[in-house]
Amino acid sequence: MTDKPIALISGAAQGIGLACAQALAEDGMHVILADIKDSVHAAAATLGGAGYVCDFSDPAAILALFDRIEAEHGPVAALVNNAGIALPGDFLAYDLADFDKVIGLNLRGVFVATQRAAKTMVAQGIEGAIVNMSSINAQVAIPAIPAYCASKGGVMQLTKVAALALAKNNIRVNAVGPGSIDTEMMAGVNANPEAFKTAMSRTPLGRPGTAREIGDVVAFLCSRKASYVSGETIYIDGGRLALNYTC
């Protein structure tokens, strides 16, 4: 058990999830990192936290993870639903199994984890915070990632629903929507000068964001500094959604 408030971050072995864990650890939280990759153990060790292997597309695995965390560490006070996949493909030939796989992790997994975390928060009177990873693709779209776009739009709406449902318990639920962030998911764009130029042409600040820039906003939303913020999706996109034209 720990005296510190506990934060659980999914998809935290690397990239944005790990950056979120780093920012929350610096804010004094005991961080629990979960990921489908075994490397989550080493990542957690660098932060003085704990790592668990968990497939967040599997509802039973999510529920078992929460049971184990509560038994070994205590109740979760902050949840960051970050685990996600894209699985691109041609719209007309897009495989239904891939569509279901993306929705299962990116949307259903978020619901299951949010509901499970909230049940303990309500039962124990914890005024917790939940932050979901949406995307600018909840608002705009890319034809090659239909399931991803649909899932992130769903996350935006699920965030609103959960915020309203849990407001009477002083549990805040928000989302963040990254734009072009310099992570493994953007590696293909970074390696292609023309693709990188195109991406930056629609990013007014003219550069990719960093994982830590996402992590810092997530940490803010989990803190008392955001005590009157709930039901919102904050887009961290270098001005992209405000852009009216490219040149």
Count of domains for the chain: 1
Residue 244 lies in a domain: no
What is the structure's pLDDT at 186?
Answer: 65
Q: How far is CA 166 from CA 24, 69, 100, 128, 230, in A?
A: 22, 22, 28, 10, 10
pLDDT at 246 over 70: no
Q: Is the pLDDT of residue 191 over 80?
A: no
170 is a domain residue: yes
pLDDT at position 185 over 90: no
At residue 190 the predicted structure's pLDDT band, cuts being 50, 70 and 90, is confident
Across the range 52-66, mean pLDDT stands at 98
CATH, residue 65: 3.40.50.720
Higher pLDDT residue, 191 or 117?
117
Concatenated DSSP letters for the chain? --SSPEEEEES-SSHHHHHHHHHHHHTT-EEEEEESSTTHHHHHHTTT-EEEE--TT-HHHHHHHHHHHHHHT--EEEEEE---------GGG--HHHHHHHHIIIIIHHHHHHHHHHHHHHHHT---EEEEE--GGGTS--TT-HHHHHHHHHHHHHHHHHHHHHGGGT-EEEEEEE-SBSSGGGHHHHT-HHHHHHHHHT-TT-S-B-HHHHHHHHHHHHSGGGTT--S-EEEESTTGGG-----
Q: Looking at the predicted structure, is the pLDDT value of residue 184 above 80?
A: no
Residue 8 Cα distances to 50, 71, 124, 198, 206, angstroms = 10, 14, 17, 35, 33
Of residues 94, 148, 228, 235, which has the active-site annotation? 148
CA distance 223 to 229: 10
pLDDT tens, residue by residue, 114-148:
999 999 999 999 999 999 999 999 999 999 999 99
Banded pLDDT at 197 (limits 50, 70, 90): confident
| Residue 192 within a domain | no
Does the residue 103 lie in any domain? yes
Structural domain boundaries enclosing 98: 6-183+210-238
In a domain, 243, yes or no: no
In contact, 133 and 86? CB cutoff 8 Å = no
pTM of the model: 0.95
Does position 247 have pLDDT exceeding 70, yes or no? no
Residue 245 falls within a domain, yes or no?
A: no
Higher-confidence residue of 196 and 46: namely 46
User: What pLDDT does 79 receive?
Assistant: 99
Is residue 1 a part of any domain in this protein?
Answer: no
Q: Is 94 a catalytic residue?
A: no
In a domain, residue 136? The reply is yes
Q: pLDDT averaged over the chain?
A: 95
Has residue 235 got a pLDDT over 70? yes
Mean pLDDT of 20-40: 98
